[in-house]
Structure 1
Amino acid sequence: MPDTCTAVVIEDDADVGRLVQTVLSATGMQVRLTATGTDGVAAVRGHCPDLVVLDYGLPDITGLEVIRLIRSFSAVQILMLTGHDDLTETLLSAGASAVMTKPFRVRALREQVEKMRVSHLEEIL
């Protein structure tokens, strides 16, 4: 992906959000960080990102509902972060591209993001 690649991170835990932002920024992505599902959906609609990193447990609506809202207008890749490993199949069925269980290792996050970037490149070529 070009250097202008963008990501929207939807995460209400400020520490986790900053960690994800740092990892994505280190890969050359421009990152928009939001703390609620509603703000995240608006950011996706307004910025047409290449990647969304989405927390399941948000203060206003669940990550599952955010997936459904985003899928109503976008095919962007969505990396779901959740502490609920029992929701993996449900989240993938709803439209998540990949699911990572919290807590996660920074290296695993970087690897997953890179895998998704390569997949995205293959889709657009």
Structure 2
Amino acid sequence: MSTETRLDRLEAQAAIADLVHAYARAVRRDEPEKVGAMFVPEGTFEVRSGQPDKAEYEVRSRYETPEALVAFLVGQKGGPHPVPLIHNLMIEVDGDRATANSMMAAPIWGTDKEVFGEYHDSFERRDGRWLFSARIYTVFPG
């Protein structure tokens, strides 16, 4: 692998990690209006329920555009919301596309509840900037 290719991959991984953590920070700080700019215009977000070791799942909600996701989050603004703690972020880069997998544990601010699950993310590099093309979050039971 050439030096340029290795450098591009490392820069992509760093930019993608920053994007994942910026999303978590926006949710943590209850700043949903910042989330839309992190997605490609046709980006999607889906929440599922499932087991960590099984392929079966149930779709809980799906947002077909970043605007739909932001509208939902803005409607929840000021109320209980997750305080995301991202763990085990693994990123695979393939040119101008990438995927990532991470775990999230999140106490729900304003309650005594917590949510735990796994993200499967897809990304695209557009105009030199990495953005989410799809986020799937599977909530584990319990």
TM-score normalised over the length of structure 1:
0.29
Select the structure that is richer in helix: 1
Q: TM-score normalised to the size of structure 2?
A: 0.27
